[in-house]
Amino acid sequence: MSNFDVIVLGSGPGGYVTAIRASQLGLKTAIIEKESLGGVCLNWGCIPTKALLKSAQVFEYLQHAGDYGLKADGVDKDFDAVVKRSRGVADGMSKGVQFLMKKNKIEVINGFGKVKAGKKISVKGEDGKETEYSASHIIIATGARSRELPSLPQDGKKIIGYREAMTLDKQPKKMIVVGSGAIGIEFAYFYNSMGTEVTVVEYLPRIVPVEDEDVSKQLERSFKKSGIKIMTSAEVTGVDTSGDGVKATVKTSKGEEILEADIVLSAVGIKTNIENIGLEDVGIATDRDKILVNDFYQTNIPGYYAIGDVTPGQALAHVASAEGILCVEKIAGMHVEALDYGNIPGCTYCSPEIASVGLTEAQAKEAGHDIKVGKFPFSASGKAKASGASDGFVKVIFDAKYGEWLGCHMIGAGVTDMIAEAVLGRKLETTGHEVLKAVHPHPTMSEAVMEAVADAYDEVIHL
Protein backbone atom coordinates (compact mmCIF):
# COMPACT_ATOMS: atom_id res chain seq x y z
CA MET A 1 0.00 0.00 0.00
CA SER A 2 1.38 3.38 -1.08
CA ASN A 3 1.44 6.16 1.49
CA PHE A 4 1.04 9.88 0.70
CA ASP A 5 0.74 13.13 2.57
CA VAL A 6 -2.23 14.15 0.41
CA ILE A 7 -4.52 12.19 -1.90
CA VAL A 8 -7.01 14.15 -4.00
CA LEU A 9 -10.08 12.30 -5.29
CA GLY A 10 -11.08 13.93 -8.60
CA SER A 11 -9.01 15.95 -11.08
CA GLY A 12 -11.30 18.81 -12.09
CA PRO A 13 -10.34 22.47 -11.63
CA GLY A 14 -10.69 21.93 -7.90
CA GLY A 15 -8.78 18.66 -7.70
CA TYR A 16 -5.82 19.21 -10.01
CA VAL A 17 -5.17 22.74 -8.71
CA THR A 18 -5.29 21.38 -5.15
CA ALA A 19 -2.79 18.66 -6.03
CA ILE A 20 -0.38 21.14 -7.62
CA ARG A 21 -0.49 23.51 -4.66
CA ALA A 22 0.02 20.59 -2.25
CA SER A 23 3.07 19.48 -4.20
CA GLN A 24 4.44 23.04 -4.27
CA LEU A 25 4.19 23.05 -0.47
CA GLY A 26 6.36 19.95 -0.26
CA LEU A 27 3.62 17.40 0.34
CA LYS A 28 3.85 13.98 -1.31
CA THR A 29 0.72 14.03 -3.44
CA ALA A 30 -1.41 11.69 -5.54
CA ILE A 31 -4.55 12.35 -7.56
CA ILE A 32 -7.25 9.83 -8.51
CA GLU A 33 -9.31 10.20 -11.70
CA LYS A 34 -11.81 7.75 -13.19
CA GLU A 35 -11.98 9.42 -16.63
CA SER A 36 -9.87 12.26 -18.09
CA LEU A 37 -7.58 14.64 -16.24
CA GLY A 38 -9.20 18.05 -15.95
CA GLY A 39 -12.62 16.69 -15.05
CA VAL A 40 -15.87 18.05 -16.45
CA CYS A 41 -14.62 21.65 -16.73
CA LEU A 42 -11.73 20.97 -19.09
CA ASN A 43 -13.31 18.05 -20.96
CA TRP A 44 -17.07 18.67 -20.99
CA GLY A 45 -17.74 22.09 -19.49
CA CYS A 46 -15.99 25.44 -19.23
CA ILE A 47 -13.35 25.02 -21.93
CA PRO A 48 -15.03 23.13 -24.81
CA THR A 49 -18.20 25.23 -24.50
CA LYS A 50 -16.12 28.39 -24.89
CA ALA A 51 -14.64 26.90 -28.07
CA LEU A 52 -18.17 26.31 -29.41
CA LEU A 53 -19.22 29.82 -28.45
CA LYS A 54 -16.20 31.33 -30.19
CA SER A 55 -17.12 29.51 -33.40
CA ALA A 56 -20.65 30.90 -33.09
CA GLN A 57 -19.28 34.41 -32.54
CA VAL A 58 -17.00 34.21 -35.58
CA PHE A 59 -19.90 32.89 -37.68
CA GLU A 60 -22.02 35.85 -36.58
CA TYR A 61 -19.21 38.27 -37.46
CA LEU A 62 -18.91 36.79 -40.94
CA GLN A 63 -22.66 36.99 -41.47
CA HIS A 64 -22.57 40.68 -40.57
CA ALA A 65 -19.38 41.54 -42.44
CA GLY A 66 -21.30 44.19 -44.37
CA ASP A 67 -21.80 46.13 -41.13
CA TYR A 68 -18.03 46.66 -41.07
CA GLY A 69 -17.71 47.63 -44.72
CA LEU A 70 -16.49 44.16 -45.69
CA LYS A 71 -17.70 41.48 -48.10
CA ALA A 72 -17.94 37.80 -47.14
CA ASP A 73 -20.18 36.05 -49.64
CA GLY A 74 -21.36 32.46 -49.33
CA VAL A 75 -20.52 32.16 -45.64
CA ASP A 76 -21.66 28.86 -44.16
CA LYS A 77 -20.83 26.66 -41.20
CA ASP A 78 -19.61 23.07 -40.89
CA PHE A 79 -21.27 21.82 -37.71
CA ASP A 80 -19.10 18.70 -37.49
CA ALA A 81 -15.94 20.79 -37.84
CA VAL A 82 -17.13 23.17 -35.12
CA VAL A 83 -17.68 20.24 -32.75
CA LYS A 84 -14.34 18.70 -33.76
CA ARG A 85 -12.50 21.96 -32.99
CA SER A 86 -14.13 22.10 -29.56
CA ARG A 87 -13.06 18.54 -28.76
CA GLY A 88 -9.54 19.33 -29.95
CA VAL A 89 -9.30 22.29 -27.61
CA ALA A 90 -10.53 20.13 -24.70
CA ASP A 91 -8.05 17.34 -25.51
CA GLY A 92 -5.20 19.83 -25.64
CA MET A 93 -6.11 21.25 -22.25
CA SER A 94 -6.36 17.78 -20.71
CA LYS A 95 -2.88 16.96 -22.03
CA GLY A 96 -1.72 20.21 -20.46
CA VAL A 97 -2.93 18.97 -17.06
CA GLN A 98 -1.05 15.70 -17.64
CA PHE A 99 2.11 17.76 -18.18
CA LEU A 100 1.46 19.73 -14.98
CA MET A 101 1.09 16.50 -13.02
CA LYS A 102 4.48 15.27 -14.26
CA LYS A 103 6.12 18.66 -13.74
CA ASN A 104 4.95 18.76 -10.13
CA LYS A 105 5.79 15.09 -9.45
CA ILE A 106 2.18 14.19 -8.64
CA GLU A 107 1.30 10.49 -8.93
CA VAL A 108 -1.76 10.02 -11.15
CA ILE A 109 -3.89 7.01 -10.25
CA ASN A 110 -6.51 6.00 -12.83
CA GLY A 111 -9.69 4.38 -11.62
CA PHE A 112 -12.78 4.83 -9.44
CA GLY A 113 -11.83 5.89 -5.93
CA LYS A 114 -13.71 5.12 -2.75
CA VAL A 115 -12.78 6.56 0.64
CA LYS A 116 -12.38 4.15 3.54
CA ALA A 117 -11.94 4.49 7.27
CA GLY A 118 -8.43 4.92 8.60
CA LYS A 119 -7.46 7.55 5.99
CA LYS A 120 -7.43 5.09 3.12
CA ILE A 121 -8.78 5.02 -0.42
CA SER A 122 -9.39 1.96 -2.57
CA VAL A 123 -9.18 2.44 -6.33
CA LYS A 124 -10.78 0.09 -8.84
CA GLY A 125 -9.02 0.15 -12.19
CA GLU A 126 -10.44 -0.67 -15.63
CA ASP A 127 -9.37 -4.30 -15.13
CA GLY A 128 -11.55 -4.52 -12.02
CA LYS A 129 -8.56 -4.85 -9.72
CA GLU A 130 -8.66 -2.85 -6.48
CA THR A 131 -5.61 -1.18 -4.98
CA GLU A 132 -5.50 0.50 -1.60
CA TYR A 133 -3.68 3.75 -0.78
CA SER A 134 -3.31 5.73 2.41
CA ALA A 135 -2.68 9.39 3.17
CA SER A 136 -2.50 11.76 6.10
CA HIS A 137 -5.05 13.96 4.33
CA ILE A 138 -7.73 12.89 1.85
CA ILE A 139 -9.46 15.62 -0.18
CA ILE A 140 -12.73 14.82 -1.97
CA ALA A 141 -13.22 16.82 -5.19
CA THR A 142 -15.57 14.61 -7.22
CA GLY A 143 -17.63 17.45 -8.73
CA ALA A 144 -21.11 17.19 -10.17
CA ARG A 145 -23.15 16.16 -13.20
CA SER A 146 -26.32 17.25 -14.99
CA ARG A 147 -29.38 17.00 -12.75
CA GLU A 148 -32.41 15.11 -14.05
CA LEU A 149 -36.03 16.03 -13.43
CA PRO A 150 -38.65 13.27 -13.08
CA SER A 151 -40.67 14.96 -15.83
CA LEU A 152 -37.59 15.19 -18.06
CA PRO A 153 -35.64 11.89 -17.97
CA GLN A 154 -32.51 12.11 -20.11
CA ASP A 155 -32.08 9.40 -22.74
CA GLY A 156 -28.95 10.89 -24.31
CA LYS A 157 -30.62 11.14 -27.72
CA LYS A 158 -33.80 13.23 -27.73
CA ILE A 159 -33.58 14.50 -24.16
CA ILE A 160 -29.99 15.42 -23.46
CA GLY A 161 -27.67 17.03 -20.93
CA TYR A 162 -24.70 19.32 -21.50
CA ARG A 163 -22.31 16.51 -22.46
CA GLU A 164 -24.43 15.35 -25.38
CA ALA A 165 -25.12 18.97 -26.38
CA MET A 166 -21.41 19.37 -27.13
CA THR A 167 -21.08 16.37 -29.41
CA LEU A 168 -24.32 15.97 -31.39
CA ASP A 169 -23.94 14.04 -34.64
CA LYS A 170 -25.98 16.61 -36.51
CA GLN A 171 -27.35 20.05 -35.84
CA PRO A 172 -31.02 20.02 -34.78
CA LYS A 173 -33.49 22.22 -36.63
CA LYS A 174 -35.46 22.91 -33.45
CA MET A 175 -34.31 22.75 -29.83
CA ILE A 176 -36.02 23.37 -26.50
CA VAL A 177 -33.69 24.47 -23.69
CA VAL A 178 -35.14 23.88 -20.23
CA GLY A 179 -33.50 26.13 -17.66
CA SER A 180 -31.89 29.55 -18.13
CA GLY A 181 -28.86 29.39 -15.91
CA ALA A 182 -25.39 29.74 -17.43
CA ILE A 183 -25.40 26.31 -19.12
CA GLY A 184 -28.84 26.69 -20.71
CA ILE A 185 -28.25 30.25 -21.85
CA GLU A 186 -24.85 29.51 -23.39
CA PHE A 187 -26.19 26.58 -25.40
CA ALA A 188 -29.27 28.56 -26.41
CA TYR A 189 -26.99 31.25 -27.84
CA PHE A 190 -24.70 28.74 -29.56
CA TYR A 191 -27.41 26.74 -31.31
CA ASN A 192 -29.40 29.84 -32.28
CA SER A 193 -26.27 31.37 -33.81
CA MET A 194 -25.71 28.15 -35.77
CA GLY A 195 -29.23 28.42 -37.21
CA THR A 196 -31.27 26.20 -34.88
CA GLU A 197 -34.72 27.43 -33.86
CA VAL A 198 -34.41 27.73 -30.06
CA THR A 199 -37.01 28.07 -27.30
CA VAL A 200 -35.90 28.69 -23.71
CA VAL A 201 -38.27 27.51 -20.97
CA GLU A 202 -37.66 28.96 -17.49
CA TYR A 203 -39.63 28.03 -14.37
CA LEU A 204 -39.00 31.36 -12.63
CA PRO A 205 -40.42 34.76 -13.75
CA ARG A 206 -37.24 35.84 -15.57
CA ILE A 207 -34.26 34.31 -17.35
CA VAL A 208 -30.82 34.21 -15.66
CA PRO A 209 -32.76 34.58 -12.38
CA VAL A 210 -29.69 34.90 -10.14
CA GLU A 211 -28.63 38.08 -11.95
CA ASP A 212 -29.76 41.66 -11.35
CA GLU A 213 -33.22 42.24 -12.79
CA ASP A 214 -31.94 44.86 -15.26
CA VAL A 215 -29.50 42.29 -16.66
CA SER A 216 -32.28 39.73 -17.09
CA LYS A 217 -34.40 42.24 -18.99
CA GLN A 218 -31.52 43.24 -21.27
CA LEU A 219 -30.61 39.63 -22.09
CA GLU A 220 -34.23 38.81 -22.89
CA ARG A 221 -34.38 41.79 -25.27
CA SER A 222 -31.11 40.77 -26.93
CA PHE A 223 -32.14 37.12 -27.25
CA LYS A 224 -35.55 37.94 -28.68
CA LYS A 225 -33.90 40.29 -31.18
CA SER A 226 -31.73 37.38 -32.33
CA GLY A 227 -34.76 35.12 -32.74
CA ILE A 228 -34.74 33.06 -29.54
CA LYS A 229 -38.19 32.41 -28.07
CA ILE A 230 -38.37 32.98 -24.30
CA MET A 231 -40.99 31.38 -22.03
CA THR A 232 -40.81 32.39 -18.35
CA SER A 233 -42.97 31.23 -15.42
CA ALA A 234 -43.23 28.04 -17.44
CA GLU A 235 -42.75 24.38 -16.54
CA VAL A 236 -42.18 21.30 -18.68
CA THR A 237 -44.60 18.78 -17.17
CA GLY A 238 -44.04 15.94 -19.63
CA VAL A 239 -42.34 14.85 -22.83
CA ASP A 240 -43.37 12.48 -25.60
CA THR A 241 -40.46 10.94 -27.51
CA SER A 242 -42.42 8.27 -29.36
CA GLY A 243 -42.36 10.09 -32.71
CA ASP A 244 -39.50 11.36 -34.85
CA GLY A 245 -38.85 14.28 -32.52
CA VAL A 246 -40.01 15.43 -29.10
CA LYS A 247 -43.30 16.90 -27.95
CA ALA A 248 -42.95 18.81 -24.69
CA THR A 249 -45.96 19.81 -22.63
CA VAL A 250 -45.32 23.23 -21.10
CA LYS A 251 -47.54 24.60 -18.34
CA THR A 252 -47.87 28.39 -18.17
CA SER A 253 -50.22 30.89 -16.53
CA LYS A 254 -52.26 30.81 -19.73
CA GLY A 255 -52.64 27.04 -19.67
CA GLU A 256 -50.80 24.20 -21.38
CA GLU A 257 -48.90 24.42 -24.63
CA ILE A 258 -47.31 21.67 -26.73
CA LEU A 259 -43.88 22.49 -28.14
CA GLU A 260 -42.33 20.34 -30.86
CA ALA A 261 -38.59 20.01 -31.40
CA ASP A 262 -35.88 17.61 -32.50
CA ILE A 263 -34.13 17.72 -29.13
CA VAL A 264 -34.74 18.93 -25.58
CA LEU A 265 -31.70 20.10 -23.62
CA SER A 266 -32.21 19.75 -19.88
CA ALA A 267 -30.17 22.44 -18.12
CA VAL A 268 -31.89 22.54 -14.75
CA GLY A 269 -28.87 22.47 -12.50
CA ILE A 270 -26.42 19.90 -11.20
CA LYS A 271 -26.32 16.79 -9.02
CA THR A 272 -23.21 16.20 -6.90
CA ASN A 273 -21.12 13.06 -7.38
CA ILE A 274 -21.21 11.80 -3.79
CA GLU A 275 -22.84 8.40 -4.31
CA ASN A 276 -20.83 5.21 -3.87
CA ILE A 277 -17.60 6.95 -2.87
CA GLY A 278 -17.62 5.63 0.71
CA LEU A 279 -18.96 8.62 2.62
CA GLU A 280 -21.37 6.49 4.64
CA ASP A 281 -18.67 3.92 5.46
CA VAL A 282 -16.38 6.62 6.85
CA GLY A 283 -19.21 8.54 8.55
CA ILE A 284 -18.73 11.79 6.64
CA ALA A 285 -21.72 14.08 7.20
CA THR A 286 -23.82 15.32 4.29
CA ASP A 287 -26.90 17.50 3.98
CA ARG A 288 -29.12 18.02 0.92
CA ASP A 289 -26.67 16.51 -1.56
CA LYS A 290 -23.64 18.37 -0.15
CA ILE A 291 -20.71 17.35 2.05
CA LEU A 292 -20.61 19.49 5.18
CA VAL A 293 -17.29 21.26 5.82
CA ASN A 294 -15.92 24.06 7.98
CA ASP A 295 -14.25 27.27 6.73
CA PHE A 296 -11.13 25.30 5.80
CA TYR A 297 -12.97 22.39 4.11
CA GLN A 298 -12.51 19.85 6.89
CA THR A 299 -15.35 17.36 7.19
CA ASN A 300 -16.60 16.04 10.53
CA ILE A 301 -14.06 13.18 10.27
CA PRO A 302 -10.42 14.23 10.93
CA GLY A 303 -8.15 13.80 7.93
CA TYR A 304 -10.98 14.01 5.36
CA TYR A 305 -11.74 17.19 3.43
CA ALA A 306 -14.05 18.23 0.58
CA ILE A 307 -13.93 21.08 -1.96
CA GLY A 308 -15.76 22.27 -5.05
CA ASP A 309 -19.23 21.35 -6.24
CA VAL A 310 -19.70 18.68 -3.55
CA THR A 311 -19.68 21.39 -0.84
CA PRO A 312 -22.28 24.12 -0.13
CA GLY A 313 -20.42 27.00 -1.87
CA GLN A 314 -21.11 28.23 -5.41
CA ALA A 315 -20.63 25.49 -8.03
CA LEU A 316 -18.04 27.35 -10.10
CA ALA A 317 -14.62 26.25 -11.36
CA HIS A 318 -12.79 29.24 -9.91
CA VAL A 319 -14.44 28.66 -6.53
CA ALA A 320 -13.28 25.03 -6.48
CA SER A 321 -9.71 26.09 -7.31
CA ALA A 322 -9.68 28.76 -4.59
CA GLU A 323 -11.11 26.34 -2.03
CA GLY A 324 -8.53 23.68 -2.86
CA ILE A 325 -5.60 26.08 -2.54
CA LEU A 326 -6.91 27.40 0.78
CA CYS A 327 -7.49 23.83 2.04
CA VAL A 328 -3.94 22.57 1.41
CA GLU A 329 -2.33 25.80 2.62
CA LYS A 330 -4.17 25.29 5.93
CA ILE A 331 -2.99 21.65 5.99
CA ALA A 332 0.58 22.85 5.43
CA GLY A 333 0.31 25.14 8.46
CA MET A 334 0.09 28.45 6.62
CA HIS A 335 -1.97 31.33 8.01
CA VAL A 336 -5.02 31.59 5.73
CA GLU A 337 -8.29 33.49 5.80
CA ALA A 338 -11.65 31.93 5.01
CA LEU A 339 -12.94 32.52 1.48
CA ASP A 340 -15.33 35.45 1.06
CA TYR A 341 -18.26 33.88 -0.80
CA GLY A 342 -19.87 37.31 -1.11
CA ASN A 343 -17.11 38.41 -3.49
CA ILE A 344 -17.22 35.58 -6.03
CA PRO A 345 -17.70 36.68 -9.66
CA GLY A 346 -20.18 34.86 -11.88
CA CYS A 347 -19.88 34.80 -15.68
CA THR A 348 -22.12 33.65 -18.52
CA TYR A 349 -20.48 33.49 -21.95
CA CYS A 350 -23.43 34.02 -24.27
CA SER A 351 -23.62 37.09 -26.49
CA PRO A 352 -23.96 39.62 -24.96
CA GLU A 353 -21.85 38.25 -22.10
CA ILE A 354 -22.92 38.57 -18.47
CA ALA A 355 -20.65 39.14 -15.47
CA SER A 356 -21.51 40.10 -11.91
CA VAL A 357 -20.23 40.21 -8.35
CA GLY A 358 -21.75 41.18 -5.02
CA LEU A 359 -25.30 42.26 -4.26
CA THR A 360 -28.00 42.98 -6.82
CA GLU A 361 -29.96 46.20 -6.39
CA ALA A 362 -32.87 44.26 -4.85
CA GLN A 363 -30.56 42.41 -2.44
CA ALA A 364 -28.86 45.65 -1.36
CA LYS A 365 -32.24 47.19 -0.54
CA GLU A 366 -33.40 44.06 1.28
CA ALA A 367 -30.20 44.19 3.38
CA GLY A 368 -31.20 47.69 4.53
CA HIS A 369 -28.57 49.69 2.66
CA ASP A 370 -29.18 53.26 1.58
CA ILE A 371 -27.74 52.96 -1.90
CA LYS A 372 -26.40 54.89 -4.84
CA VAL A 373 -26.91 53.23 -8.22
CA GLY A 374 -25.08 54.12 -11.40
CA LYS A 375 -25.58 52.74 -14.89
CA PHE A 376 -23.73 53.37 -18.13
CA PRO A 377 -24.97 51.92 -21.42
CA PHE A 378 -22.49 50.63 -24.00
CA SER A 379 -24.52 52.55 -26.59
CA ALA A 380 -22.74 55.62 -25.18
CA SER A 381 -19.30 53.98 -25.34
CA GLY A 382 -17.05 54.97 -28.23
CA LYS A 383 -15.19 51.64 -28.16
CA ALA A 384 -18.43 49.65 -28.11
CA LYS A 385 -19.89 51.63 -31.00
CA ALA A 386 -16.70 51.28 -33.04
CA SER A 387 -16.67 47.54 -32.33
CA GLY A 388 -20.28 47.11 -33.36
CA ALA A 389 -21.14 45.76 -29.91
CA SER A 390 -23.27 48.40 -28.21
CA ASP A 391 -25.81 46.11 -26.49
CA GLY A 392 -25.71 46.16 -22.71
CA PHE A 393 -24.43 48.25 -19.83
CA VAL A 394 -22.43 48.40 -16.60
CA LYS A 395 -24.40 48.85 -13.38
CA VAL A 396 -22.80 49.64 -10.03
CA ILE A 397 -24.28 49.77 -6.53
CA PHE A 398 -22.67 51.63 -3.63
CA ASP A 399 -23.56 52.18 0.01
CA ALA A 400 -24.52 55.86 0.17
CA LYS A 401 -23.09 56.45 3.66
CA TYR A 402 -19.68 54.77 3.46
CA GLY A 403 -19.09 54.45 -0.28
CA GLU A 404 -18.72 50.65 -0.05
CA TRP A 405 -18.93 48.94 -3.45
CA LEU A 406 -21.84 46.58 -2.84
CA GLY A 407 -22.29 45.13 -6.30
CA CYS A 408 -21.38 45.33 -9.97
CA HIS A 409 -23.42 43.90 -12.84
CA MET A 410 -22.42 43.92 -16.49
CA ILE A 411 -23.92 42.72 -19.73
CA GLY A 412 -22.15 43.29 -23.04
CA ALA A 413 -19.21 42.29 -25.20
CA GLY A 414 -16.15 41.19 -23.22
CA VAL A 415 -17.57 41.92 -19.77
CA THR A 416 -16.39 38.56 -18.40
CA ASP A 417 -12.87 39.98 -18.76
CA MET A 418 -13.86 43.25 -17.09
CA ILE A 419 -15.51 42.02 -13.88
CA ALA A 420 -12.16 41.39 -12.15
CA GLU A 421 -11.81 45.14 -11.58
CA ALA A 422 -14.89 45.07 -9.36
CA VAL A 423 -13.77 41.88 -7.57
CA LEU A 424 -10.35 43.39 -6.78
CA GLY A 425 -11.84 46.74 -5.83
CA ARG A 426 -14.24 45.11 -3.39
CA LYS A 427 -11.46 42.91 -1.97
CA LEU A 428 -9.38 46.04 -1.30
CA GLU A 429 -12.44 47.80 0.18
CA THR A 430 -12.27 50.63 -2.32
CA THR A 431 -14.87 53.39 -2.36
CA GLY A 432 -16.84 54.84 -5.22
CA HIS A 433 -14.75 58.01 -5.28
CA GLU A 434 -11.52 55.99 -5.48
CA VAL A 435 -12.81 54.10 -8.50
CA LEU A 436 -13.95 57.35 -10.07
CA LYS A 437 -10.55 58.98 -9.61
CA ALA A 438 -8.64 55.97 -10.98
CA VAL A 439 -7.93 56.95 -14.59
CA HIS A 440 -9.35 54.44 -17.07
CA PRO A 441 -7.92 54.15 -20.61
CA HIS A 442 -9.85 55.59 -23.55
CA PRO A 443 -11.30 54.25 -25.72
CA THR A 444 -12.03 50.96 -23.96
CA MET A 445 -15.03 48.99 -22.82
CA SER A 446 -13.58 49.13 -19.30
CA GLU A 447 -14.08 52.89 -18.96
CA ALA A 448 -17.81 52.12 -18.75
CA VAL A 449 -17.08 51.05 -15.15
CA MET A 450 -15.74 54.51 -14.33
CA GLU A 451 -18.68 56.14 -16.15
CA ALA A 452 -21.20 54.01 -14.24
CA VAL A 453 -19.59 55.04 -10.95
CA ALA A 454 -19.69 58.66 -12.10
CA ASP A 455 -23.40 58.24 -12.79
CA ALA A 456 -23.94 56.95 -9.25
CA TYR A 457 -22.35 60.13 -7.90
CA ASP A 458 -24.01 62.49 -10.40
CA GLU A 459 -20.70 63.23 -12.14
CA VAL A 460 -21.19 61.32 -15.38
CA ILE A 461 -19.71 63.08 -18.45
CA HIS A 462 -20.72 61.05 -21.50
CA LEU A 463 -24.39 60.39 -20.76
Note the pLDDT tens digit of each residue in 413-428. Answer: 999 999 999 999 999 9
Whether 137 and 143 have beta carbons less than 8 Å apart is answered as no
Could you report the per-residue pLDDT of 238-292, keeping only the tens digit for each? 999 998 999 999 999 889 999 999 999 999 989 999 999 999 999 999 999 999 9
Could you report the per-residue pLDDT of 422-455, keeping only the tens digit for each? 999 999 999 999 999 999 999 999 999 999 999 9
Of 253, 268, 283, which residue constitutes the final position of a domain? Answer: 268
- Give the integer Cα–Cα distance in Å for 446 and 420: 11
Is 181 annotated for ligand binding? yes
Verify that 141 and 191 share a domain, yes or no: no
Of 222, 239, 268, which residue constitutes the final position of a domain? Answer: 268
Verify that 190 and 214 share a domain, yes or no: yes
Is 113 annotated for ligand binding? yes
Is 202 annotated for ligand binding? yes
Verify that 44 and 174 share a domain, yes or no: no
Verify that 15 and 136 share a domain, yes or no: yes
Verify that 138 and 174 share a domain, yes or no: no
Is 248 annotated for ligand binding? no
Tell me which of 64, 433, 442, 462 is the catalytic residue.
442
Query: Nearest-5° angle of CA 105, CA 41, CA 411?
Result: 130
Indicate if 318 belongs to the active site: no
Distance from chain centroid for Cα 318: 9
Q: 20 is in which domain, residue-wise?
A: 2-146+271-341
- Give SS3 for 75: coil
Q: What is the pLDDT of residue 35?
A: 87
Whether 453 and 437 have beta carbons less than 8 Å apart is answered as no
228 contact partners, CB below 8 Å, separation of at least 6: 188, 189, 192, 198, 199, 200
Could you report the per-residue pLDDT of 91-140, keeping only the tens digit for each? 999 899 999 999 999 999 999 999 999 999 999 998 889 999 999 999 99
Pairing mode of beta strands 2-9, 235-240:
unpaired
Q: What is the pLDDT of residue 41?
A: 78
DSSP string, 142-160: --EEE--BTTB---SSSEE
Whether 390 and 381 have beta carbons less than 8 Å apart is answered as yes
Q: How confident is the model at residue 1 (pLDDT cuts 50, 70, 90)?
A: low
Is 291 annotated for ligand binding? no
| Range 15-33 average pLDDT | 97
Q: At 233, which CATH number? A: 3.50.50.60
- Percentage of residues in the chain having pLDDT higher than 90: 90
The residue type at 434: E
Verify that 185 and 214 share a domain, yes or no: yes
Pairing mode of beta strands 371-377, 393-399:
antiparallel
Distance from chain centroid for Cα 310: 15
- Give the integer Cα–Cα distance in Å for 162 and 183: 7
Is 184 annotated for ligand binding? yes
Is 186 annotated for ligand binding? yes
Verify that 312 and 436 share a domain, yes or no: no
Could you report the per-residue pLDDT of 324-356, keeping only the tens digit for each? 999 999 999 999 999 999 999 999 999 999 999
Q: What is the pLDDT of residue 99?
A: 94
Q: What is the pLDDT of residue 462?
A: 85
First and final CA of the chain: distance in angstroms? 68
- Give the integer Cα–Cα distance in Å for 353 and 68: 21
Distance from chain centroid for Cα 374: 26
Q: What is the pLDDT of residue 113?
A: 96
Task: Look at the chain and report how many structural domains it folds into.
Answer: 3
Residue 419 domain-assigned?
Answer: yes
Alpha-carbon radius of gyration of the chain: 24
